[in-house]
């Protein structure tokens, strides 16, 4: 089981603001990092799977970066919209446990109109 920390735990922003969250994980034996978006009363939906140090992924207004050497990933949302309100989960896996994802507790984002 990996030690995964996500910060902040929750965040309120105004519509149109840009924001970012952090996911920290052990840097040793890194294999992959997943980001998921989880809306209330729905199931988690994959955003990105990142495997290489320096990876940058983008999907619309959402992007993510990965630093495997220092053990962190940032998720950015540009120009937040109310429909971006959700909990954002990260989940790393290491080569020692490459068949298991360990999920962080998530960052709960609320975008106020």
Partner 1 sequence: NAGVTQTPKFQVLKTGQSMTLQCAQDMNHEYMSWYRQDPGMGLRLIHYSVGAGITDQGEVPNGYNVSRSTTEDFPLRLLSAAPSQTSVYFCASTRDSLNSPLHFGNGTRLTVT
CB proximity list for 95: less than 8 A, separation 6 or greater: 29, 30, 31
Site stretch for partner 1 (CB under 8 A), options 10-18, 34-42, 63-71, 75-83: 34-42
Distance in Å, CB of 103 to partner 1, minimum: 4
The whole-angstrom separation of Cα 42 and Cα 13 is 22
Verify binding: residue 24, partner 1, rule CB under 8 A: no
Distance in Å, CB of 72 to partner 1, minimum: 18
Q: What are phi and psi of 61, to 5 degrees?
A: -90, 0
Structure token pair of residue 76: 């950015």
By CB under 8 A, the residues from 39 to 78 that bind partner 1 are: 42-46, 49, 51
Identify whether the C-beta of residue 78 lies closer than 8 Å to the C-beta of residue 65.
Answer: no
**Would you say 25 or 34 has its CB closer to partner 1?**
34
CB proximity list for 82: less than 8 A, separation 6 or greater: 15, 111, 112, 113
- Candidate residues 3, 28, 81, 100; the one interacting with partner 1 per rule CB under 8 A: 100
Distance in Å, CB of 5 to partner 1, minimum: 11
Residues binding partner 1 (CB under 8 A): 1, 31-32, 34, 36, 42-46, 49, 51, 89, 91, 93, 98-106
């Amino acid at each position: 089981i990996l030690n995964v920390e996500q910060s902040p735990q929750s965040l309120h922003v105004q519509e149109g603001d840009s924001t970012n969250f952090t996911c920290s994980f052990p840097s040793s034996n890194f294999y992959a990092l997943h980001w998921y978006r989880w809306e209330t009363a729905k199931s988690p939906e994959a955003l990105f799977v990142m495997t290489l140090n320096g990876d940058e992924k983008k999907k619309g207004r959402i992007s993510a970066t990965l630093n495997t050497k220092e053990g962190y990933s940032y998720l950015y949302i540009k120009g937040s919209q109310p429909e971006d309100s959700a909990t954002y989960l990260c989940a790393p896996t290491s080569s020692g446990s490459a068949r298991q994802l360990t999920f962080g507790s998530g960052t709960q984002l609320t975008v106020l109109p």
